[in-house]
Structure 1
Amino acid sequence: MFARALIVLLIAINVGVAMWWLLRGEPPAPPAFAQPAGVPRLQLLSEAKPLAAAPAPTAPVPVVAAPAPVAPNQCFSLGPFATSTTLREASAKLRPQVVRLSARETTPANARGYTVLMPSLATRELAQAAAERIKAAGFDDYLLINEGADANGIALGRYGSQESAQRRQAALQAAGFAAEIRPIGDAGPAWLDIEARAGLDLAKLRTDAGAAQAQPLDCASLR
């Protein structure tokens, strides 16, 4: 009897709970939450906007200045010089100031030949050193001048024609020696052919040389 009564009690409790669940109604809504003023709202990670990628740093491009154009050398002839003495004096004054210098004598009508030589050097020692360099370069026809107006110069050969003398001069100049040609006999007026840096004061150079004239010259004729 007791077991039957217990079963009836459990059935009654279940029926009562089921009736309460059906008849209870909707639960009241919770009060709305008001965000206090001045307090930022918490943001979920899923709500955050993706950050834009920062631009990669770029290295500054160096500015390279264009090299200034180099002005070409200027070439000209100074003269005329009436004597060999004035020619040598002018050559000695101008040689330290210019890039290249060579003496040119006008050919006399009665020339008996032509001599090739290097102008006088400042000391005997310099002349001897130049002679050794000429020998080492393979030129065996040379003579150190001991006295006279061309003392401490170097004679490099005597030729019967101007063409032969010019070939000898060209070979020596190609080897780096400042060879000059002089006619043998009564020489005509002489000139100095000069290559100088751009901007050199030509008027001052002409005054230093004691030359009456300055004539433009093609630099290619000096090479």
Structure 2
Amino acid sequence: MLVRALIVLFSVLNLGAAVWWIAHDSLPPPAPVQVPPGVAPLQLVNEAGAPPPSMPPTPASATAAAPSPVDEGTTAASAQQCFSFGPYASNEAGAAAAAKLKPLVRTLATRGQAETSTRGWRVYLPPQASREQAEAVAQRIGAAGFSDFLIVRDGAEANSIALGRYRGEDAANKRVQALNAAGFAARAQALDGPEAVAVWLDVVAGEAFDARRAQAAIAAEQFRKIDCAAMPR
């Protein structure tokens, strides 16, 4: 009796469970999760075939700017120096000096310059107001112990007094100083010789260039610093 009752009870329970399973409403699907803009959604490892999320592009402003190269032309220009060596009395002498100087510099240019040679020096007193005054001054010069003087009678320098000619400037200056000390306003003047063309070497050199050593190496009478902007390009 008891067994039957249990069988009937289990049958009723099974039937009720089947009726509930058929009649119940299915649960709605879960709502999709809203992801904030710019954030990549999570992805499971086993989701095969899904492409990896792309990284946002790097802004151009975040890229570090590469340092600009140093302007080598400006640096080189600021480090250069320019000189002129000479004068040389002939083209042959200038060419020989240029051959020695060229390896030491960046650029070299040969330049010819007209120069007037000096034949000597003369010492004189300027023209006096009259011949009588010139003769009076000449007498005073002789009385002071000086010799070698002459009154110029004609020409543009009439009534001047010539006081001697000298080969070198030093000798002429000594004569002038002695006459000045005695109270005579003597002067010295160079006597120009024939015009000649002298050769000069203009160079552009680096910062370490030694101009004095180069002058000795090429036997230049002198050197002078010049403006690099005046050098030919």
Aligning the two structures, in what range does the TM-score lie when normalised by the shorter sequence? 0.3 to 0.5
TM-score relative to the length of structure 2: 0.34
TM-score relative to the length of structure 1: 0.35
Higher strand proportion (structure 1 or 2): 2
